[in-house]
Amino acid sequence: MKPVIMLTGRNGQVGAELLRLLPQLGEVVAFGHDQLDLSNPSDICRRVREVRPQLIVNAAAYTAVDQAETDETTAQAVNAQAPGLLAEEAKKIGAVLVHYSTDYVFDGAKKLPYDEADSANPINVYGKTKFAGEQAIRSSGVSHLIFRTSWVYATRGRNFLLTILRLATEREELRIVSDQIGAPTCASDVAAATIKVLTNLWERNDCGFVFSKVSGTYHMSAAGQTTWYDFAETILEKAGATSHRLEWLAGAIKGRPLVAQRVISISTEEFGSPTPRPAYSILSNSRLFQKFGVSLPDWHTQLQRCFVAESIAANLLAH
């Protein structure tokens, strides 16, 4: 019998991609923010008890990093308390939990890829609340998989890719930070890797998502590393070389021409954000590969595929 899977955050970047892929594995009951408000504990309990899933996938989160600095209460409710409650509810009904976390649990002081054994030391409110969410899940005792990813983007939603494309229609010069190092990860690659892990577990056990031998935290980000500055330059290079018939690209730039001529490298200090961000947040994905044989492509390949896949889809629609 097909398992029942409860998905939260169905309209988010990762959630929307999961919504496309999860039906391969079971019957999906998916909630958006308007149907399940994770800042409301009674909503969480009611929904889990109604659906009685075998697997809960929590793709919802409070991801507005700057806003979290002044709205800690909501960020804490959604990123810390809600995952803890989902975990407790899952445990009560014998379900397992998949949850996503972030490279921002680290302080960025290390200069080599962070692995799962490295101590977290978040330096902003978003990172602190996400780490508290991880801890709440661990201490609930539920069987779980926490996937930490980084610098997530997609061809929809709020993200760096779409911001750069919009700015490139408005300004001749873009000033972008070049002293933060990370790995931009496409939401569709996070969703695809999650499905591979779950398929692998399902096949291994044949009768359900048994997480007991693999329960824990895994890094799940694009391979390679870059800076926001280099990422912006690469986006503009690819956008310039791509047909403007691309539906999402045309939407992102609202049909306006790209006018950006230059990308100027600036420091975090010059940018002047009041929110601290880790200067280095590369994650080592070896554990994910060792346990599940799953790896994500290099960030460059992911970005290229993002343009090409959408390009193919647009061309298919056009013919």
Ligand X SMILES: NC(=O)c1ccc[n+]([C@@H]2O[C@H](COP(=O)([O-])OP(=O)(O)OC[C@H]3O[C@@H](n4cnc5c(N)ncnc54)[C@H](OP(=O)(O)O)[C@@H]3O)[C@@H](O)[C@H]2O)c1
Residue 43: burial class (beta carbons within 10 Å; 0-12, 13-18, 19+) = middle
- Quick one: 210 or 227, whose CB is closer to ligand X? 227
Q: Round to whole Å and give the CA distance between 14 and 299.
A: 16
Q: Round to whole Å and give the CA distance between 252 and 248.
A: 6
Q: Applying CB under 6 A, which part among 48-56, 96-104, 166-174, 237-245 lies near ligand X?
A: 96-104
Answer for which of 68, 152, 193, 282 binds ligand X (CB under 6 A) is 152
100, 104, 126, 229: the active-site residue: 126
Q: Applying CB under 6 A, which part among 18-26, 95-103, 200-208, 250-258 lies near ligand X?
A: 95-103
Would you tell me how many other CB atoms lie within 10 Å of the CB of residue 87? 26
Measured between alpha carbons, how far apart are the two ends of the chain, in Å? 39
Helix (H) or strand (E) holding 129: helix 125-140
The reply to whether 275 sits near ligand X by the rule CB under 6 A is no
Q: Applying CB under 6 A, which part among 18-26, 148-156, 168-176, 306-314 lies near ligand X?
A: 148-156
Q: Round to whole Å and give the CA distance between 54 and 51.
A: 9
Q: How many residues bind ligand X (CB under 6 A)?
A: 27
Angle at 180 between CA 178 and CA 183, to 5 degrees: 110
β-partners of residue 226 are: 182
Q: Which of residues 164-203 bind ligand X (CB under 6 A)?
A: 187
DSSP annotation of 257 reads: P
Q: Closest Cα to residue 128, out of 280, 7, 275, 273?
A: 275
- Quick one: 63 or 234, whose CB is closer to ligand X? 63
Amino acid in the structure at residue 92: K
CB 319, min distance to ligand X, A = 31
CB 117, min distance to ligand X, A = 19
Residue nearest to ligand X (CB): 12
Q: Which of residues 11-70 bind ligand X (CB under 6 A)?
A: 11-15, 33, 36-39, 59-63
Residue 302: burial class (beta carbons within 10 Å; 0-12, 13-18, 19+) = buried
CB 205, min distance to ligand X, A = 26
Q: Applying CB under 6 A, which part among 47-55, 149-157, 167-175, 262-270 lies near ligand X?
A: 149-157
Amino acid in the structure at residue 295: S
Q: Round to whole Å and give the CA distance between 153 and 22.
A: 20
Residues recorded for the chain: 319
- Is 229 a catalytic site residue? no
CB 178, min distance to ligand X, A = 18
Q: Round to whole Å and give the CA distance between 54 and 58.
A: 13
CB 128, min distance to ligand X, A = 12
The reply to whether 281 sits near ligand X by the rule CB under 6 A is no
Answer for which of 18, 97, 100, 292 binds ligand X (CB under 6 A) is 100
Q: List residues near ligand X by CB under 6 A.
A: 9, 11-15, 33, 36-39, 59-63, 78, 100, 102-103, 130, 149-152, 157, 187
Residues known to be catalytic:
126
